[in-house]
Amino acid sequence: MEPISVTALSFTEYVMSGQRGRISIVSDQRRIYLSPDQWVAGFYNPMRDAMRRAANSPDPAAELEAAVAAAHRLPRPGQPRAFEELREGFLPWLKATRATGVPTAAARWQAGELALRVRPHLGLRMPDGERAAVLVYVKEPPMTQEAANVGLRILQQTTADTLPGATPLLLDARRGRAFRMSRRTNLAKLDALIAAEAAGYVVHWRMSA
């Protein structure tokens, strides 16, 4: 049987959804991933593209405003408001970092039948030279540190391929809050949690078929 393939961020969203919401979120993700309608899968892509351009632009606000304006010209349900909230959260955070963009590559992380596609949405170089590999979370429910640790650990295990030497970050873009993994995190327990959640994801995916 072929492995189930989703993005690292989709898996992280599954982990944060809680026991009651997991079957529902996997059903939604399965529908999106298997949909022939690319708009369904790419709802947030114009804003993520604008964020990447903003990181290398002398006028990052203009890049984000262009994405918001485009959403208003061809309105799709919920998109203009979502893009406005993302702009208001992301722009102050980006300006505060004073970072510039750097390219990232793709990697693959696998646990059993679950294969995660890992490509940081942003690669950033900070003023002190530190580099960051950033997953950008864009949904309405606030990200939690517990769920962020799952995405951060997967990033950490793949940075050698995506952006060598980079610090993993998971950005809750609507709130302009970037999560880092604490040095006190028990990695053995976190890895066991991720393995269990990966197995659960596969079960829920098969059940939603």
pLDDT number for residue 77: 83
Choice between 24 and 91, residue whose per-residue pLDDT is larger: 91
Please provide the average confidence, as pLDDT, over all residues in the chain: 91
Strands 100-101 and 122-125: antiparallel
Interacting residues of 163 by C-beta distance below 8 A, sequence separation 6+: 102, 104, 105, 120, 123, 131, 133
* Domain boundaries of the chain, sorted by first residue: 4-207
Q: CB of 167 within 8 A of CB of 180?
A: yes
Model confidence at 146: pLDDT above 90? yes
pLDDT number for residue 114: 94
pLDDT number for residue 75: 66
| Residue 194: other Cβ atoms inside 10 A | 23
Q: pLDDT band at residue 36, thresholds of 50, 70 and 90? A: low
Tens-digit pLDDT profile for residues 175-207 = 999 999 999 999 999 999 999 999 998 988 888
pLDDT number for residue 48: 95
Q: pLDDT band at residue 172, thresholds of 50, 70 and 90? A: very high
Q: pLDDT band at residue 79, thresholds of 50, 70 and 90? A: very high
Mean pLDDT of 23-30: 82
Model confidence at 113: pLDDT above 70? yes
